[in-house]
Amino acid sequence: MKKRYGTKAIHSGEHPEWFNQAVTGDISPSTTYVIPNAKSLEGWDGYIYSRISNPTRKSLEEKIASLDDCESAVALSSGMAAVSVGLMSCLSAGDMIVAQNSLYGGTYDLVVNVLPKFGVKTLFVPKEKLYDLSWAPKEAKVAYIETPSNPTLGITDIRATCTAAHGRDMLVVADNSFATSYLQKPASLGVDLVVYSATKFMAGHSDCLAGAITGRNDLVEKAYRLMTQFGSPLDPFSCFLLARGLKTLELRMNKAQSTAMEIARFLANHPKVARVFYPGLWNSPERELALTQMKGWGGMVTFEMKGGFEGASALFDNLQLIFRAGSLGGIESCISIPVLMSHHHLDEAALKEADITSGMLRLSVGIEDNSDLIEDLTQALDKVK
């Protein structure tokens, strides 16, 4: 019987026989494991050291791979660990990344300020240029996308990017953190490696720092080996928290995106709001594309105030219920100012290319009552001059 997403989230990767028939898998904190005898080391495939493998992590990785409809997964210590390991496992000195010009600020910092020290360059382009890569330099080995993008929620055509990249023998790496595997399955659309900040919607409770990589066995194996050398596996307790969070992801995302749509409509009709970025709005230029690769619109809403930074900061400061916080994807709603927080690494030119303005606010919608959230936004907007 083929299991649906919510069922897989609860049952996949669960092995009661590993944990004394416990319904909830144990947290295995041991760093090392007993070897029965010298002869057993010949062809040994059991546990030996937790940086390499751990039963709590293995159970989680099976669950993540199942939810992504991928062959393999590896769980890492943060989203940036996943992005770093995922990219570096595909690249060598002299290679180039071709990336869309709207990315998370931490990823931008990595590819602009860190990877060049190892001989890897990055060329930023409008996402539409990824749909025909006949122009790409011969050293281009990876096309990197993020869809929906942070913070403007731009939608990149995954199929078109993969077709173009594979035609040039390039790999495609996609950040699927905002959509999660519940709303979008990049591997089924051709993506070679999928990376996640699992801290966000996947874990969902703002108490677990985690990352994940999914994809084909051969590519995930390369990422896994690099992860063990970098020493960035996810610790057992965080594995437990992430596995628990995944079990309610479908429920949380459904609530968050339902409220997000209401908030987006409310903001789109407010006289003090200049622009609203939400792919589910009827006037969104990317709504039709999103419909071809997503099963929902997600729990993020970004908007720009007419008063620029002064207006954005006034709304930010006057919220009473919504948290002023830099992360996202938790059960509580959080708001941030991208130019000062998630994207403070970008210079003015890069911000302009990514269409990120000083009057922009990024709202991560939680699972509070939708009316309470709209009331909080209303009273804060009333105080904006």
Catalytic site residue from 8, 141, 200, 362: 200
Catalytic site residue from 68, 95, 175, 235: 175
Contacts of 164 (CB under 8 A, 6+ apart): 130, 131, 132, 133, 134, 143
Inter-residue contact 204 to 327 (CB < 8 Å): no
Catalytic site residue from 57, 104, 235, 278: 104
Which segments of 69-186 does DSSP mark as H helices, in order? Answer: 79-88, 105-109, 158-167, 180-183
CA pair distance 135, 132, nearest whole angstrom: 8
CA pair distance 153, 302, nearest whole angstrom: 7
Look at phi and psi of residue 153 and say left if phi exceeds 0, alpha if psi is from -120 to 50, else beta: left
Neighbours of 41 (CB within 10 A): 11
Q: Which of 165, 98, 101 is nearest to 132 (CA)?
A: 165
CA pair distance 319, 315, nearest whole angstrom: 6
Catalytic site residue from 5, 51, 216, 244: 51
104 in active site? yes
CA pair distance 175, 78, nearest whole angstrom: 13
Reading the block at residue 282, the tokens are: 């009827």
- Give the dihedral of Cα atoms 145, 121, 211, 359; nearest 10 deg: -60
Reading the block at residue 224, the tokens are: 């896994």
Give the sheet arrangement for strand 300-305, strand by strand.
Answer: 273-277, 300-305, 360-364, 334-336, 323-324
Reading the block at residue 74, the tokens are: 């590896």
Three-state SS for 72?
A: strand
CA pair distance 240, 25, nearest whole angstrom: 8
68 in active site? no
200 in active site? yes
287 in active site? no
Positions annotated as catalytic residues are 51, 104, 175, 200
